[in-house]
Amino acid sequence: MANVIVIGAQWGDEGKGKITDLLSRSADVVVRYQGGVNAGHTIVVKGQTFKLHLIPSGILYPDTECIIGSGTVIDPKVLIAELDQLDQLGISTDNLYISETAHVTMPYHRIIDQAAEGQRGDRKIGTTGRGIGPTYADKSERTGIRILDLMDTEGLREQLEWTINYKNAILEKLYNLPPLNPQEVIEEYLGYAERLRQYVVDASLKIYDGIQRRRNILFEGAQGTLLDLDHGTYPFVTSSNPVAGGACVGTGLGPTTIDRVIGVAKAYTTRVGEGPFPTELDGEIGELLCAKGAEFGTTTGRKRRCGWFDGVIGRYAVRINGLDCLAITKLDVLDELEEINVCVAYEIDGERCEHFPTSSRRFSRCRPIYKSFPGWKVSTTNCRSWQDLPKQAQDYLKYLAELMTVPIAIVSLGASRDQTIILEDPIHGPKRALLHADGTPASLLSV
């Protein structure tokens, strides 16, 4: 029995969907614990592509239970569209469960998210425009609508009449936008409530019951460590806690129930939206990574900014999440490159800096210090074992493990399930490599 958290170790889109789907083979339950329809997780199986925003990436396994936990925010319209899409593709959603304490994204959240971004001008965050920030803001302000409120017809009418009138004042007076019709919104959302009612449960109780029955629970993070509200590149972050600690808060489980944390990182770095990005590549190589890696947002279609692998944020992700091991994805995207750089430290105002600076202003002044590696210049997409990989790719991976101070358990070389090399059992294999008592690092790659 092992309860495992899978998190993004960079700025999102690391390939969490692919890795979660892969690991779901040995999971009984897969749980999303934060975020909303800002997430876009892609799974490719036998040439068929699935793009999931809210439904956990374990849904393709008919016997695996999938739970949308209480720390998520749920846009019912998008969730229903996702259910319909899976149904059309012949994927059963009978094993889906939704937490009754998750918050609901309402039309005014989406409108306010987009209007606020418009007003911020140069200070915009580059949000997905899906209403995520305003939904979590209402949760914190204690004026949010929860799934259990949505299920209570009379209570919902009363709550929404008041809330929509209040939000209309903001729409009209602050943003000069037309008001919403409360009755129309209420009827629309009561319709969604009927469609979703069958899935609603006390998710914390359900997951705890699974833990007591020694079932394997997989927690699927959305977004990534550097987008974390508390630990990311604030204010250029999302409004939830994608880090491993968020899995406990976002499901209602205690930390002693977690056995392992796996970090997913690309072999390079991408970022969507605004905010500092020290290893960003503006020129030809950035374009090549974008084209070869098909780096366009799964949710918004926006072009992702691309850059070299950043070992400083990587080590930060190891620390903040307590990572035990890593899954390195998209190694194949580097196949054609002559030379590959890895950022080992930053220079800030003439000084070398080994650690992620918590101030975004300071972070924006960081200049990367690179170590260069020769490229391998052959395709790795058909490699299926460590021995199949070219020597230069092996050296690159060994260095990433050394730099990050954690073993690499999985290497991904394409979007499909089979384009994967398992180096260590990611669930039961060796844990985080700590220093030996004499200060020397423990071995990282047992290959």
Taking the least distance from each CB to ligand GDP, the nearer of 144 and 286 is 286
CA 73 – CA 103 distance, rounded (Å): 5
Residue 40 near Mg ion by CB under 5 A: yes
Nearest to 262 by CA among 151, 427, 113: 427
Q: Which two tokens stand for residue 251?
A: 């499901």
Q: Which of 253, 257, 240, 213 is nearest to 65 (CA)?
A: 213
Residue 314 tokens read as 């990587």
Nearer to Mg ion, 307 or 368 (CB): 307
Using CB distances below 5 to 8 A depending on partner kind, what does residue 278 bind out of ligand IMO, ligand GDP, Mg ion, none? none
Residues 270-329 that bind ligand GDP (CB under 6 A): 293-294, 298, 329
Is 109 assigned a catalytic role?
Answer: no
Could you confirm whether 75 is annotated as catalytic?
no
Could you tell me the CA-to-CA distances from 444 to 397, 400, 431 in Å, in that order?
11, 10, 10
- Catalytic-labelled residue, pool 13, 75, 228, 324: 13
Min separation Cβ 42 and ligand GDP, Å: 3
The Cβ-side half-sphere exposure at 301, using a 13 Å CA radius, reads 0
Distance CA 325, CA 426 (A): 7
* 37-45, 149-157, 183-191, 326-334 -> range binding Mg ion (CB under 5 A): 37-45
- Chain-centre distance for alpha carbon 361: 24
Interacting residues of 133 by C-beta distance below 8 A, sequence separation 6+:
113, 116, 125, 127, 238, 239
If 0-12 CB within 10 Å is exposed, 13-18 middle and 19+ buried, where does residue 1 land?
exposed
Q: Segment near ligand GDP (CB under 6 A), from 106-114, 122-130, 413-421, 428-436? A: 413-421
Does residue 36 touch ligand GDP according to CB under 6 A?
Answer: no
Q: How many CB atoms lie within 10 A of CB 257?
A: 15
- Residue (11 or 268) nearer to ligand IMO, CB: 11
Distance spanning both ends of the chain, measured CA to CA: 26
Q: Mask of contacts with ligand IMO, 79-108, x by CB under 6 A?
A: ------------------------------
Q: Identify the three-state secondary structure at position 97.
A: strand
Site for ligand IMO in 262-291 (CB under 6 A): 272-273
Cβ neighbour number for residue 116 with a 10 Å cutoff = 17
Q: Residue 99, Cβ neighbours under 10 Å: how many?
A: 31
Of the candidate residues 298, 329, 405, 420, the single one contacting Mg ion (CB under 5 A): 298
Partner whose footprint covers residue 413, from ligand IMO, Mg ion, ligand GDP, none (CB < 5 to 8 Å by kind) = ligand GDP
Q: Which of 12, 15, 293, 426 binds ligand IMO (CB under 6 A)?
A: 12
Residue 227, binding choice from ligand IMO, Mg ion, ligand GDP, none, Cβ under 5 to 8 Å by partner class: ligand IMO
Q: Does 132 bind ligand IMO (CB under 6 A)?
A: yes
What residue 133 binds from Mg ion, ligand IMO, ligand GDP, none (CB within 5 to 8 A, per partner kind)?
ligand IMO
Interaction site with ligand IMO (CB under 6 A): 8, 11-13, 38-41, 125-128, 130, 132-133, 222-224, 227, 236, 238-239, 272-273, 298
